[in-house]
Amino acid sequence: MLETIVSVQLPVGEHLMIQKNRFTPLTSIPACKRICVVTGIHGDELEGQYTAWKLAAILNQHQEQLRGIVDIYPALNPLGINSICRGIPLCDLDMNRIFPGHSDGPVSEFVAHQIIKDLSGADVCVDIHASNIFLRELPQVRVSQEMADTLVPLAGYLNMDFIWINASATVLESTLAHSLNSTGTPTLVVEMGVGMRITQSYGDQLLDGIFSLMAHLGIWAGEVPDVRTPIISTDGNVSFANANTSGIFLPTVSHLAQVQKGDPLGLVVNPLTGETCETVFSPASGLLFTLREYPVVYNGSLIARVLGDTP
């Protein structure tokens, strides 16, 4: 059932609307559980669109297997997705820096407030991101240190390759996930693939994970596939390689390669002069789980992240 959770008038004959699709069991089950699958906070991240579609398509066909509520929110930033804009087009703000919002605030904060109101109280929320247009990511769940005890066991069901336990930064307290986690709604942040593209195999992998999580919560009675065992790691095991010159980045390794410390990862070149400005080397030995996708780089641009081999 389609529901509109917030609607505000735009200046000329149109509304900004955020919608969800609610799936409920065929016969009502008292005190049943609820999972929320949300995506599209960042308008240039589309990986979650595939997962949302396929989840809705399966639930449309197999409502008889539902034992709880599934709410799917494919576009928390509908104007952004619609117009290929990462932030909120009205004010150019990163929507994931305005939570929990405010009922009396400007429209962006009001919308954030209404979203939180609708999601609060769910038994689990899955927030699907897709890196950005610059970086390609291994399917992973990001969990803040202080929530690790609650979230890592749930994240294990999601069939992702990697669970990254992040140190907490104050600025990240304005994210949707933090706002929900700190008020008792467990929220898992998925990062996978790359911005402005859809990697269907990653979407299918996550979909198996969502069904497995739903089965664990008693929301889904149908068959679920076995899920993979993720690597679990903290920041300490993740190393970064940044460009120190500007130019065009040409990778010499492929995403998800096993690399040794000091291996070349790619070149930064100058097409005008024919020079190679820099060779970027691997900062550690391990799995190349993040790799630069967008070729134009500046001094400072992130090139790669390596998940170190555990000794």
Partner 1 sequence: MKKQVLFQVETPYREALDVTAYQFGGEEKSVAVVGALRGNEIQQMYTCALLIRTLKRLEEEHRLSSACGILVVPCVNHFSMNIGRRFWAVDNTDINRMFPGYSGGETTQRIAASLFEVISPYQYGIQFASFYLPGDFLPHCRMMDTGYQNLQDAADFGLPYIILRKPQPYDTTTLNYNWQIWNTSAVSLYTKETDCVDEATALQAVNATLRFLSKRGFLLDPPTECALPNIVQEEQLITVLSQAGGIFVRKHVPGDQVARGEVLAEVLDTGTAEIKSQVLAPAGGQVFFSHKAQLIGEHEVAFRLI
Stretch 130-149 residues interacting with partner 1 (CB under 8 A): 132, 134
12 binds, among Zn ion, partner 1, none (CB under 5 to 8 A by kind): partner 1
Tokens of 61: 């066909």
Q: Can residue 239 be called a binding residue for partner 1 (CB under 8 A)?
A: no
Going by their DSSP bridges, the two strands 286-292 and 264-270 should be labelled as: unpaired
Going by their DSSP bridges, the two strands 286-292 and 231-234 should be labelled as: unpaired
Going by their DSSP bridges, the two strands 187-193 and 162-166 should be labelled as: unpaired
Taking the C-alpha atoms of residue 232 and residue 199, their distance in angstroms, rounded to an integer, is: 23
- How far CA 274 is from CA of 112, 196, 281, in Å, comes to 49, 30, 20
Q: Tell me whether residue 14 or residue 226 sits nearer to partner 1 (CB atom).
A: 14
Q: Can residue 267 be called a binding residue for partner 1 (CB under 8 A)?
A: no
One residue of 20, 34, 113, 129 binding Zn ion per CB under 5 A: 129
Query: Phi and psi (nearest 5°) for 180?
Result: -75, -45
Q: Tell me whether residue 24 or residue 242 sits nearer to partner 1 (CB atom).
A: 242
Q: Can residue 193 be called a binding residue for partner 1 (CB under 8 A)?
A: no
Site string for partner 1, 72-111 (x = CB under 8 A): --------------xx--xxxx---xx-----xxxx--x-
Q: Tell me whether residue 26 or residue 272 sits nearer to partner 1 (CB atom).
A: 272
Q: Can residue 182 be called a binding residue for partner 1 (CB under 8 A)?
A: no
3-state helix, strand, coil in the chain (%, to 5): 25, 35, 40
DSSP at 168: P
Residues of the shown chain interacting with partner 1 in the complex, contacts defined by CB under 8 A:
8-13, 16, 86-87, 90-93, 97-98, 104-107, 110, 132, 134, 170-174, 240, 242, 245-248, 270, 272, 296, 298-302
